[in-house]
Amino acid sequence: MARARMGWVLALLLWPLGAMAQATVVLDNGALKVYKVKGDFAETFEFLQAAIGDQGIKINNISYIGKMLQRTAEAVGTGKEVYANANALEFCSAVISREMMEADPNNIVLCPYIIYIYELAAAPGELYVAYRKPEITGNEATRKALAKVTALLESIIGSVLN
Instruction: Flag whether pLDDT at 13 surpasses 60.
Output: no
Q: Is 143 helix (H, G, I), strand (E, B) or coil?
A: helix
Query: What confidence category does residue 15 fall into, taking pLDDT thresholds of 50, 70 and 90?
Result: very low
Task: Please state, for a pLDDT cut of 70, what percent of the chain lies above it.
Answer: 87
CA-to-CA dists, residue 98 to 92, 93, 117, 121, 147, angstroms: 10, 8, 26, 39, 14
Instruction: Flag whether pLDDT at 1 surpasses 70.
Output: no
Give the integer Cα–Cα distance in Å for 47 and 20: 12
Instruction: Flag whether pLDDT at 137 surpasses 50.
Output: yes
pLDDT at 79: 78
Residue ranges of domains in the chain, CATH in brackets: 2-161 (3.30.310.70)
Q: Is 30 helix (H, G, I), strand (E, B) or coil?
A: coil
* Residue 112, preceding peptide bond in cis (omega within 30° of 0): yes
CA-to-CA dists, residue 4 to 7, 57, 58, angstroms: 5, 9, 9
- Average pLDDT over the chain reads 90
Find residue 90's DSSP bridge partners: 61, 114
Spatial strand order of the sheet with 32-38 comes to 24-28, 32-38, 126-132, 113-120, 83-91, 59-63
101-127 tens-digit pLDDT: 999 999 999 999 999 999 999 999 999
- The more confidently predicted of residues 139 and 18 is 139
pLDDT at 78: 87
Q: For the whole model, what pTM was predicted?
A: 0.86
Q: Is 95 helix (H, G, I), strand (E, B) or coil?
A: helix
50-100 tens-digit pLDDT: 999 999 999 999 999 999 999 999 899 987 899 999 999 999 999 999 999
Find residue 85's DSSP bridge partners: 119
Residues ≥6 apart with Cβ < 8 Å to 138: 103, 104, 107, 146
- Going by C-alpha positions, the residue among 40, 3, 59, 29 that lies closest to residue 132 is 29
